[in-house]
Amino acid sequence: MKKLMLGNEAVARGLYEAGVKVVSSYPGTPSTEITEFAAKYNEIDAEWASNEKVATEVAVGACIAGARSFTAMKHVGLNVAADPLFTASYTGVNAGMVIAVADDPGMHSSQNEQDSRNYAKASKVPMLEPSDSQEAKDFTKLAFALSEQFDTPFLLRLSTRVSHSQSLVEICDRNELENKPYEKDVNKYVMMPGMAKKRHIVVEDRMASLAEYAETAKVNTVEYNDRKIGVITSGISYEYAKEALPDASFLKLGMIHPLPEKMIREFAENVETLYVIEELDDFIETFVKKIGILNVHGKDIFSLQGELNVAIIREKILGVTPKLKLLEETIPVRPPVLCPGCPHRGIFYTLNRLKLHVSGDIGCYTLGAMAPLSSIDICVCMGASVSGSHGIYKANKEMAKKTVAVIGDSTFIHSGITGLIDIAYNQGASTVIILDNSITGMTGHQQNPTTGYTLKGDPTVSVNLEKLVQAVGINRIRVVDPFDLEACEKAVKEETAVDEPSVIIARRPCALLKNVKYDQNVTVDQDKCTGCKMCMRLGCPAITMKGKKMEINKTLCNNCGLCANVCKFGAIKVEK
C-alpha cells in the first residue's frame, strides 16, 4: 500500500517499521512532526524531553539498554545535544540509535542557517540524507541497520523541504524486535581518558570501514546521461537539479558522511564539466577538492546562503533566466505579529512604556521585538535571555537597573533555569520575567514539563515554577496576569528597583489553546473614540483605523479585551 506522507511522517513510519521502542525529542521546526507522528504508534514510547541534550542522552541510555532508540531536533538543537553526540560516537551503541537533524536553509523559522553536515564530520558520526518521503522512511530504517552493523549512532539529515513536502511512500509492517541483551562493558561505555583513548582508535577504524561501505552503498547512485554536465548532489538539491537539468549525469549521494572517494573520482573522470550542487556550506565540494579534483564548480557560482531552487540552478548552469511576469500591484509586506489575544502582548506593552532594555529569548515572544512593541534588544539562542541579563549586570550596573530578561515556559525549562541558578549563585540582581502561557507555542503547541500533560496526552506532574525558582535561591517571586497592565507595571518597576535577583511569572494561557474562550464582546464606541491611537500601541492585528477612528476587525479579534485596558476615553467597550 502507498500513502502520501510528509517527509517527517515518513521518518516516523520508518521508526515504527524498524521496531524502534524509545523516542525522546525536543520540538524545533522543521523536525517537530517526526516525534508527534511517532507518538501515534502505541508500540513506540515517545516523549518530549526538556531539551535536546536530555533527549539525546535518553536515546543513548535506551540503545545501550538494548532497545532501538531515536531523537529528532532542529539544526540548532544539535548544538545543545553536541556534548552527548561527540562521546556517544566513542561508546557506540548496543541496539541501533538514530539522531534526525533538520536544517533550515533560508531560515523559514530559525535564528541561523548552520549546516549540520559539519557535525557529522566533527563528531565522526555517519550521516544519511534522504531527498523525498520514500527515502526518508527507507533511510531511517537503513540507518538503524547500519547503526547496529557498525556500532555507531547514525545521523539522518533532513531539511525544511524534505521534512515538510509530501510524496508517496510504500507502507510495510513493523519488524518487532526483542531487546538486545545488555552486558556491562566499562571499556566501551565508561568514557574516561584511559578507555576513551582506545575507543578513539575504534572510531577511526569504524570511519574507515564506513568509507569502504560508502563506495558500494545502494543509497549512493550514479545516473549517466549526457556527460557534458555531471552533477554531484544530495538531498533536496538533487530534486531541484534533476528537474533543472534532466539530461545531465548525476552522482546522488544518500550517504553524506563518510563520502565515497573512489565513486566520486570515477564520476568526475567520466563527465566533461563537474558541478557540486548543495545548499549552505561547501561540504561535498571541499571533499572533492581535498581528493585532488580541482576542476569543479560549486560555491564559485552558488551561494552559501539560503535555499536553492530549479530556477537558480538553470540560471547558474545553463544561463537561462526565468521569464518572470511582474505583478502590477505591489503587495504590502506582512511582518509576523503576536496573535490577537496573545498574553505576551501585555508584558511587552509594559516594557515598551517603561523604556527598559530587554534581554530576549526564543519563542513566540521574540515578536515583542517588532514595532510598535519594539521591546527586545538582544536575542541569541534558547536560554540566553537569563544568562545574558546577568552578563549585562556584571558589565554595566547602570544598564542592568533598566534591564529585564523575558523567557517562555518551555524555554525556561530547556535552558533558562541554569542561567537563573547562575544569577542566584553569583550574587546577581537581574529581573527575569517568565512568560508562562502554559504551552510551547512557537512550534505549534507541544506539551512541556510545566503543562501537566505528556506528549501522549496523559496527565502528569507539572513543574511548579514558583517553587523551582525559590529553590535555586530567588527570594523575590511574584505572579502577575499580563492583561492586568497596572499590576505588570507595578511589578516590573518594583523588581527592577531592588538590588537583588527577582522573578516575575506572567501567567495567562495562549489564546490559541482550545479551552481559552473569551465570553465577551469587544467593540469601539465611535462617539467616544478620539482617534488617539493609544490602542494601536498594543500592535494587535485586530485593531485598525477607519477614517480618523479606531475599528476592531471582528474576524481577527478574539475578544480578549486588553485594548479596553489602555483606552483612556472608555471608547472600547467590553460586554459580557
Phi, psi of 102 (to 5 degrees): -105, 115
Residue 28 binding ligand TPP, by CB under 6 A: yes
Supply the minimum distance, in Å, between the C-beta of residue 426 and ligand TPP.
24
Nearer to ligand TPP, 112 or 427 (CB): 112
d(CA 153, CA 334): 43
Asked whether position 80 contacts ligand TPP by CB under 6 A, the answer is yes
| Binder among 155, 263, 423, 439 for ligand TPP (CB under 6 A) | 439
Using rule CB under 6 A, residue 441 touches ligand TPP? yes
Q: Give the residue, chosen from 89, 237, 437, 447, that forms a contact with ligand TPP under the rule CB under 6 A.
A: 437
Q: Which is nearer to ligand TPP, 362 or 386 (CB)?
A: 362
Q: In this structure, what C-alpha cell is assigned to residue 63?
A: 540503545
How far is it, in rounded angstroms, from Cα 340 to Cα 320?
A: 45
Shortest approach of ligand TPP to residue 328 CB, angstroms? 38
Number of residues that bind ligand TPP (CB under 6 A): 23
Residue nearest to ligand TPP (CB): 408
DSSP conformational letter for 139: H
CB of 371 to ligand TPP, least distance (A): 19
Name which position in 49, 248, 362, 540 contacts ligand TPP (CB under 6 A).
362
User: What residues from 443 to 482 belong to the interface with ligand TPP (CB under 6 A)?
Assistant: 443
The grid coordinates listed for 23 are 523516542
Question: Closer to ligand TPP at the Cβ: 383 or 428?
Answer: 383
- Decide: helix, strand or coil at residue 477: strand
What angle, rounded to 10 degrees, do the helices at 193-216 and 82-91 form? 80
Q: Phi and psi at residue 233, in whole multiples of 5°?
A: -155, 180
Stretch that binds ligand TPP, among 21-29, 119-127, 269-277, 483-491 (CB under 6 A): 21-29
CA neighbor of 376 nearest in space, from 413, 409, 416, 404: 404
Least separation in angstroms between CB 435 and ligand TPP: 6
In the complex, what is the shortest distance from the CB of residue 448 to ligand TPP, in angstroms, rounded to a whole number? Answer: 6
Cα 205 from Cα 139, distance rounded (Å): 23
Give CA–CA dist 126/220, Å, rounded. Answer: 14
Preceding peptide of 322 cis, ω within 30°: no
Query: Of 99-107, 269-277, 357-365, 489-497, which segment contacts ligand TPP by CB under 6 A?
Result: 357-365
Q: How many CB atoms lie within 10 A of CB 318?
A: 12
Q: Confirm or reject binding of residue 35 to ligand TPP (CB under 6 A).
A: no
Q: Does 440 bind ligand TPP (CB under 6 A)?
A: yes
76 scored as a contact of ligand TPP (CB under 6 A) = yes
Among 22, 24, 78, 26, which Cα is nearest to 413's? 26
Label each residue of 152-216 as H, E or C: CCEEEEEEHHHHCCEEEEECCCCCCCCCCCCCCCHHHHCCCHHHHHHHHHHHHHHHHHHHHHHHH
**In the complex, minimum distance from the CB of residue 244 to ligand TPP, in angstroms, rounded to a whole number:** 32
Q: Of the two residues 442 and 455, which places its CB atom closer to ligand TPP in the complex? A: 442
484-543 residues in contact with ligand TPP (CB under 6 A) are none
3-state secondary structure of 347: helix
Q: Does 114 bind ligand TPP (CB under 6 A)?
A: no
Q: Check the CA dihedral 154-159-164-168 and report its sign.
A: negative
Q: Does 339 bind ligand TPP (CB under 6 A)?
A: no
Minimum gap (Å) between residue 60 Cβ and ligand TPP = 18
Per-position x/- string for 383-412, each x denoting binding to ligand TPP as judged by CB under 6 A, each - no binding: -------------------------xxxx-
Kindly report the length of the chain: 576
User: For binding to ligand TPP (CB under 6 A), which residues are involved?
Assistant: 26-28, 74, 76-77, 80, 362-365, 382, 408-411, 435, 437, 439-443
